[in-house]
């Protein structure tokens, strides 16, 4: 099959959605499918068209203004309409509003969507809910990453997934803590920093980036968004809130602490199938208690690792193939 993915960013940009699309694309090409990814370029140094690991990447540039930027995206995507027209499968990741005008023109063509989460604004603006509802209505079938999305957007997906992981890198565990994720207030990071302040000297490193980078730098080294495979392999405890990082940490044998600071974050964690394997906290005091005690316990660790290592990208790819085949 000829498959076209549409995403905000793609390789070499690092992020959860980017990794998801990269891994699925890699598996699909391994199975003999032809895959193209259309994405916005995050750097002027990147080629507009290139091939990486047998995946054809088509990039376009836009502008970072709210409404004019969307018009530019629509214009740029219309220039690539032949790619959408010739594809057997078109699948959009999150940015379905980008595809709206294409859907009007190619109204007969099935199109699928994966919604990877919420926009990070709580409570969710009515505008965001409306955009999501329209997008779900326009797509043929959809996947939600997390069961909590149905509650807040009042939509019904055809499948619910949580993520996957590669085989972990074997390594000796050290007594250190890593934080993995965006360095933004909506992740519950403020709660962690308050806990660290009260704990004194703690060996922690941050893998991520965002508006709170400078603040995090006062507590430990900030690496930015880089490959975390080796860091997880050697860390004893991982503080993370994203599904991919949680599953990867469990597969690597890390104890996992996740923080919520609003009802959405709470549902993200408590509605997940791995909730019994992680420590969920919501206050600096709870965080201090867990960080102090979790080192002493290996409860559920072996079971958690076995479960996480069954969540493979091969298995995730089959979810996509199953979704697409149901329409035929």
Q: Dump pLDDT digits (tens) for 141-183.
A: 999 999 999 999 999 999 999 999 998 877 777 778 999 999 9
Same domain for 291 and 187, yes or no, is: yes
Q: What is the CATH number of the domain that holds 74?
A: 3.40.50.2000
pLDDT tens per residue, range 241-281: 899 999 999 999 999 999 999 999 999 999 999 999 999 99
Helix, strand or coil for residue 258? strand
Distance, first Cα to last Cα, the chain: 13
Same domain for 124 and 263, yes or no, is: no
Average pLDDT over residues 98-107: 97
Reply yes or no on whether the pLDDT at 294 is more than 70. Answer: no
What is the rounded CA–CA span in Å between residue 139 and residue 92? 9
Same domain for 211 and 65, yes or no, is: no
E strands along 53-190, which residues?
55-60, 89-93, 112-115, 141-145, 159-161, 177-180
Same domain for 142 and 8, yes or no, is: yes
% of residues, the chain, pLDDT over 70: 98
pLDDT of residue 86: 98
pLDDT of residue 328: 60
Our count of domains for the chain comes to 2
Same domain for 17 and 150, yes or no, is: yes
Residue 155 inside a domain? The answer is yes
Query: How would you class 23 by CB atoms within 10 Å of its CB: exposed for 0-12, middle for 13-18, buried for 19 or more?
Result: buried
Same domain for 235 and 316, yes or no, is: no
What is the rounded CA–CA span in Å between residue 148 and residue 162? 11
Average pLDDT over residues 16-22: 97
Same domain for 190 and 159, yes or no, is: no
What is the rounded CA–CA span in Å between residue 292 and residue 315? 36
Domain span holding position 94: 2-163+312-325
Same domain for 45 and 62, yes or no, is: yes
Same domain for 12 and 141, yes or no, is: yes
Residue 185 inside a domain? The answer is yes
Contact predicate 54/35, CB 8 Å: yes
What is the rounded CA–CA span in Å between residue 125 and residue 308? 34
Give Cα 12 to chain centroid, integer Å: 15
The full 3-state SS of 30-64, as one line of letters, equals: HCCCEEEEEEECCCCCCCCEEEECCEEEEEECCCC
pLDDT tens per residue, range 200-247: 888 999 999 999 999 999 999 999 999 888 899 899 899 998 999 999
Residue 233 inside a domain? The answer is yes
Same domain for 21 and 150, yes or no, is: yes
What is the rounded CA–CA span in Å between residue 143 and residue 158? 6
Same domain for 135 and 16, yes or no, is: yes
Q: Residue 144's closest CA among 155, 129, 134, 128?
A: 155
The β-bridge relationship of strands 55-60 and 49-52 is antiparallel
Residue 204 inside a domain? The answer is yes
pLDDT of residue 292: 85
Same domain for 21 and 147, yes or no, is: yes
């Amino acid at each position: 099959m000829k498959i076209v993915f549409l995403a905000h960013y793609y390789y070499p940009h690092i992020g959860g959605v980017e990794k998801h699309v990269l891994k699925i694309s890699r598996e699909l090409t391994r199975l003999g499918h032809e895959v193209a990814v259309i994405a916005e370029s995050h750097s002027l140094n990147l080629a507009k068209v290139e091939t990486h690991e047998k995946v054809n990447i088509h990039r376009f540039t836009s502008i970072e203004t709210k409404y004019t930027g969307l018009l530019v995206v629509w214009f740029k995507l219309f220039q690539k309409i032949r790619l959408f027209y010739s594809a057997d499968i078109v699948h959009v990741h999150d940015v379905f509003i980008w595809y709206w005008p294409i859907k009007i023109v190619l109204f007969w063509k099935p199109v699928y969507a994966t919604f990877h989460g919420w926009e990070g604004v709580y409570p969710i603006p009515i505008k965001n809910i409306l955009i999501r509802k329209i997008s779900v209505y326009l797509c043929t079938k959809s996947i939600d990453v997390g069961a909590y999305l149905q509650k807040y957007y009042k939509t019904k997906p055809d499948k619910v997934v949580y993520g996957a992981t590669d085989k972990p890198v074997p390594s000796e565990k050290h007594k250190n803590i890593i934080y993995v994720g965006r360095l933004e207030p909506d992740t519950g990071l403020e709660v962690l920093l308050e806990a660290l302040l009260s704990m004194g000297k703690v060996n922690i490193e941050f893998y991520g980036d965002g508006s709170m980078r400078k603040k995090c730098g006062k507590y430990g080294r900030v690496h930015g968004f880089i490959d975390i495979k080796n860091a997880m392999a050697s860390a004893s405890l991982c503080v993370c809130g994203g599904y991919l990082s949680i599953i990867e940490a469990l597969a690597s044998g890390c104890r996992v602490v996740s923080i919520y600071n609003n009802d959405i974050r709470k549902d993200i964690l408590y509605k997940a199938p791995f909730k019994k394997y992680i420590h969920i906290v919501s206050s600096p005091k709870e965080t201090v208690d867990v960080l102090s005690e979790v080192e002493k316990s290996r409860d559920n660790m072996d079971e958690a690792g076995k479960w996480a290592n069954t969540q493979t990208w091969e298995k995730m790819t089959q979810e996509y193939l199953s979704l697409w085949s149901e329409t035929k």
